[in-house]
Chains A and B, each alone.
Chain A
Amino acid sequence: EIVLTQSPGTLSLSPGERVTLSCRASQSISKSYLAWYQQKPGQAPRLLVYGVSSRATGTPDRFSGSGSGTDFTLTISRLEPEDFAVYYCQQYGGSFTFGQGTKLEIK
């Protein structure tokens, strides 16, 4: 099973700042099966990015995904107040696994 490790665990930032979240896999992820989700308290996760870098319908263009092999990132170019949430990466390599999440909190 592929283990995903996200870093950092928590980030304290201000609106308007740029942020890059990291997701590292224990082995190479094939066929670009890497996605990112946003989750707010009391809500289900929401798909943001799939196939490493494709934005889901409704995802603002300030969100961008990149990476390959074992190292992936989600960048938010300019934080908006509604972006403060928990972010999870997810992969498929025979089974589905998620990272433990990165929490973005307002500084």
Chain B
Amino acid sequence: QVQLVQSGAEVRKPGASVTVSCRASGYTFTTYYVHWVRQAPGQGLEWLGRVDPSGGSIHYAQNFQGRVIMTRETSTTTVYMELSSLRSEDTAVYYCARERPDNCHFDYWGQGTLVTVSS
């Protein structure tokens, strides 16, 4: 069955960086995009960007350009999201989610990773 399994919760100080991983299984890794979406406590959903595991192309949301880096490792079917220059407003649950190219919706989601930014 399709699974997206994310790394565990993280705590960082303001100004630091954090990397969250998302390991995919149960499908052909290179045939679906992987996106990152976050949700601040009690708030809605915000898209950060996506990576194409096939060719490695990346599309970042404008709000996160210059602060986020997404990479993939095909040998381990894992996608990584690094967010830098963290501030308290980045405290959120970060989700990875899968998209069949050009379908423009997310059919499977990871379980979420809580990132807490606090001094």
Contact = CB atoms under 8 A, between A and B. Distances in A.
Interface string B107-119: 1011110000000
Contacts of A88: 44-45
Interface residues of B, number: 19
Interface in A5-36: 31, 33, 35
A96 B44 CA distance: 13
Given A33-B104, A44-B112, A56-B107, A98 B95 contact: no
Tier of interface size on chain A: 20 to 34
Contact of B46 (A33, A35, A37, A98): A98
Interface of A: 1, 31, 33, 35, 37, 44-47, 50-51, 56, 88, 90, 92, 95-101
Given A92-B105, A95-B61, A98-B46, 7 more contacts: A33-B105, A44-B109, A44-B111, A45-B109, A46-B109, A51-B105, A90-B105
